[in-house]
Chains A and B, each alone.
Chain A
Amino acid sequence: MIKLCPVEDLAPGTVTRIATPDLPVPLALIKVGERIFCVDDTCSHETASLSDGWLDGHEIECPLHESRFDVRTGKPDCPPARRPIRTHDVEVVAGMVCVDEASVAVAREAAR
Chain B
Amino acid sequence: MTTIAVVGTGLAGVRAAEALRTEGYGGRLVLVGEETAAPYDRPPLSKQVLLGKSDGQDLALTDEEQRAALDAEWLSGTGATALDPATRTLSLADGRTLPADGVIIATGARARSLPGTSDLRGVHSLRTLDDALRLREDLSRPGRVVVVGGGFIGAEVASSARALGHEVTVVEYERTPLLRQLGQAAAKILCRLHTDHAVRLVTGVSVTGLIGPERVRQVTLSDGRSLPANVVVIGVGAAPNTEWLTGSGISCDNGVLTDEWCRTTAPGVVAAGDVAAYRCRSGRLRIEHWTNARDMPVTAARSLLATMRGQDPTDLPVYDPLPYVWSDQYGVRLQIAGRPGPNDQLELLAGSYEDRFAAVYRRDGAISGALAVDSPREFGRLKRELRSAWATR
The proximity string for A residues 32-53 relative to B, scoring 1 for CB distances below 8 Å and 0 otherwise, is 0000000000000000110011
A66 engages B324 (CB within 8 Å)? yes
26 A–B pairs (Cβ distance < 8 Å), ordered by A: A48-B376, A49-B376, A52-B377, A52-B380, A53-B377, A53-B380, A54-B380, A54-B384, A61-B380, A63-B376, A63-B377, A63-B380, A64-B326, A64-B333, A64-B335, A64-B376, A65-B326, A66-B291, A66-B324, A78-B294, A79-B11, A79-B61, A80-B41, A80-B290, A80-B294, A82-B63
User: For window 48-91 of chain A, which residues contact chain B by CB distance below 8 Å?
Assistant: 48-49, 52-54, 61, 63-66, 78-80, 82
Tell me the chain B residues, 272-304 only, with Cβ under 8 Å from chain A. Answer: 290-291, 294
**Which B residue's beta carbon lies closest to that of A51?**
B377
Closest chain B residue to A49 by CB distance?
A: B376
Please report A residues at the B interface, Cβ cutoff 8 Å: 48-49, 52-54, 61, 63-66, 78-80, 82
B379 interface residue, CB < 8 Å from A?
A: yes
Pairs A-B, 5 closest by C-beta atoms? A63-B376, A52-B377, A52-B376, A63-B380, A54-B380
In the complex, the answer to whether B294 meets A79 with C-beta atoms within 8 Å is: yes
Q: Please, how many angstroms separate the alpha-carbon atoms of A71 and B43 in the complex?
A: 26
Complex Cα distance, B378 from A54, in Å, reads 10
A53–chain B nearest beta-carbon distance, Å: 6
CA–CA, A64 and B290, complex, Å: 12
Whole-angstrom distance between the alpha carbons of A79 and B11 in the complex?
9
* B332 CB, min distance to chain A CBs, angstroms: 13
Closest to B61 in A: A79
Q: How big is the B interface, by class? A: 10 to 19
Identify the closest chain B residue to A54 (Cβ).
Answer: B380
Within 8 Å CB of A49, what residues of B? 376
Closest Cβ neighbor of A67 among chain B residues: B294
Q: How far is the CA of A78 from the CA of B18 in the complex (A)?
A: 11
**Nearest chain A CB to B18 CB, angstrom units:** 9
Complex CA–CA separation, A2 to B240 (angstroms): 54
| B 362-393 contacts with A by CB, 8 A | 376-377, 379-380, 384
**How far does the Cβ of A106 sit from chain B's closest Cβ, in whole Å?**
18
B 332-375 binary contact with A (CB < 8 Å = 1; else 0) = 01010000000000000000000000000000000000000000
Q: Give every chain B residue within 8 A of A61 (Cβ-Cβ).
A: 380
Residue of B nearest to A52 (CB): B377
Minimum Cβ distance to chain A for residue B357 (Å): 15
* Chain A residues near B15 (CB-CB < 8 A): 79
Q: Which residues of A contact B61 (CB under 8 A)?
A: 79
Residues of chain B with a CB closer than 8 A to A53's CB: 376-377, 380
Cα–Cα distance between A10 and B229 once the two chains are bound (Å): 57
Q: Which of B41, B63, B379 contacts A63 (CB 8 A)?
A: B379
